Amino acid sequence: MAQTSNPDHYSLISLGSGEAGKYIAWTYSSRVPGSRVAAIEKQWIGGSCPNIACLPSKNFVHSAKVAQYSQQLPQYGILRNGTGPSQLDMVTVRERKREMVNGLVSMHEGKFKDSNVELIMGTGAFTGPKTIEITLPEGGKRTVTADIVLVCTGSRATIDNRIPGLLEAKPLTHIEILEIDHVSYPVHLL
């Protein structure tokens, strides 16, 4: 594929930098000589998995497993010499998760750079065939075109407003749950 002299034209653009979009962009860039590749991302560099879904939830689950194991220490011959029960510190659990996410975002930024895939932060909308207008976070707009455009926008949590009383109850999605800094009842560990 021949490189174009138009700075706003790409060989391939992925609208979204999540699991599908990032791997296709990275692979295409490495396997197609002379290609120019970009990924447009609205919010979560690398997609929801490393930011608000799969990996952060596993981080929380790991903390819960450690808490559960700590209650089983005597069964394994491990006696605690402390003066009282331990307490679960959700601020520390949340900060551990945030540190992991920050590391994953940095890793993704490095992978985009190393693979020569331009990461464009903004909200993309089609304005014509293979033409995307990007609303940039700092203001302004940019229009880009590509020979190949992938739509890899993933999914979003939604709260169904057709269920009476649900919105008023202020339910939590996975995003809010993974930012909890306290538990509603005391959790005492051995």
Residues 5-50: tens digit of each pLDDT: 677 999 999 999 999 999 999 999 999 999 999 999 999 999 988 8
Alpha carbon distances (Å) from 40 to 43, 51, 136, 169: 10, 16, 10, 35
In sequence order, the β-bridge partners of residue 9 are 145
Instruction: List domains and CATH numbers for the chain.
Output: 9-189 (3.50.50.60)
**DSSP conformational letter for 76:** G
- pLDDT of residue 186 exceeding 70, the answer is no
pTM of the model: 0.81
Whose CA is closest to 26, among 15, 34, 38?
38
Q: What is the mean pLDDT of residues 148-172?
A: 89
Q: What percent of the chain has pLDDT over 70?
A: 92
- Grade residue 154 by pLDDT with cuts at 50, 70 and 90: confident
Instruction: Look at the block and give the residue holding tokens 């491990």.
Output: 78
Write down the mean pLDDT value for the chain: 88
Q: Which amino acid is at 30?
A: S
Bridge-based pairing state of the strands 117-121 and 37-41: parallel
